[in-house]
Amino acid sequence: MKTLLDFLPFVLFFGAFKLYDIYVGTAVLMAATAVQMLVVYRLDGRLQAMQKITLLLVLVFGTLTLVLHDERFIKWKPTVLYAAMSIALAIALWVMRKNVLKLMLGSQLELPEMVWHKLNLAWMVYTAFMSALNAYVVLNYSTEAWVSFKVWGYVFPLTFLVAQGFYIAPHLKADQAPPEDGASQ
């Protein structure tokens, strides 16, 4: 159910965009994300930092899109989100000497330090790549193409998460299974 909940705001955004336009889609995305986070909060009793940041960015960039009637804001939101994730992971690792992934998932997964380190680096590279890729599409293609990219672009996170699963699988103990949500979002 949580996986479906993760995709619901985007599915609703896509439908509203196709039926109406980017502005109705943006308003639907904002409302659906707020409801999604409320449901997550009711189920888990809290929101993770990434969920809070995602909600904040959707609401801020969505509001700017609607108030200024400028679609560029909502299109740049993924670039900002992914760049912020990459920078935060890098600062945490190299300045604060903290591995954010291990802090978030260490109680659920027992992995060697080198595996945690490589996973953190992989997430830094992946989020930087996704930030750059979204920026490229925003700068070079129409809004219609950007929305299509958002639909078909789910290949990237799914591929990354599956590869991550294959990478950590040999390092898991027999009685240990990866977490359900894979530290995504």
Residue 59 belongs to some domain of the structure: yes
3-state DSSP assignment of residue 154: coil
Confidence band (pLDDT; 50, 70, 90) for 181? low
Higher pLDDT, 155 or 182: 155
**Domain boundaries, position 154:** 2-171
Q: What's the distance, CA 78 to chain centroid? A: 8
Residue 48: what pLDDT?
A: 87
Distance between CA atoms of residues 83 and 76, nearest Å: 11
Residue 179: what pLDDT?
A: 58
SS3 letters for 63-121?
HHHHHHCCCHHHHHHHHHHHHHHHHHHHHHHHCCCCCHHHHHHCCCCCCCHHHHHHHHH
Residue 138 belongs to some domain of the structure: yes
Residue 177 belongs to some domain of the structure: no
Quick one: what percent of the chain has pLDDT higher than 70?
Answer: 92
- In this model, does residue 91 exceed pLDDT 70? yes
Higher pLDDT, 77 or 7: 77
DSSP H/E element including 56: helix 49-68
Residue 66 belongs to some domain of the structure: yes
**Contact of 39 with 32, CB cutoff 8 Å:** no
- In this model, does residue 175 exceed pLDDT 80? no
Distance between CA atoms of residues 62 and 82, nearest Å: 17
Residue 181 belongs to some domain of the structure: no
Residue 1: what pLDDT?
A: 62
User: What's the structural domain count of the chain?
Assistant: 1
Which amino acid is present at 42?
R
CA dihedral (87, 180, 54, 69) positive or negative: positive
For 103-119, how does the pLDDT look when each residue is reduced to its tens digit (9 = 90+)? Answer: 988 888 889 999 999 99
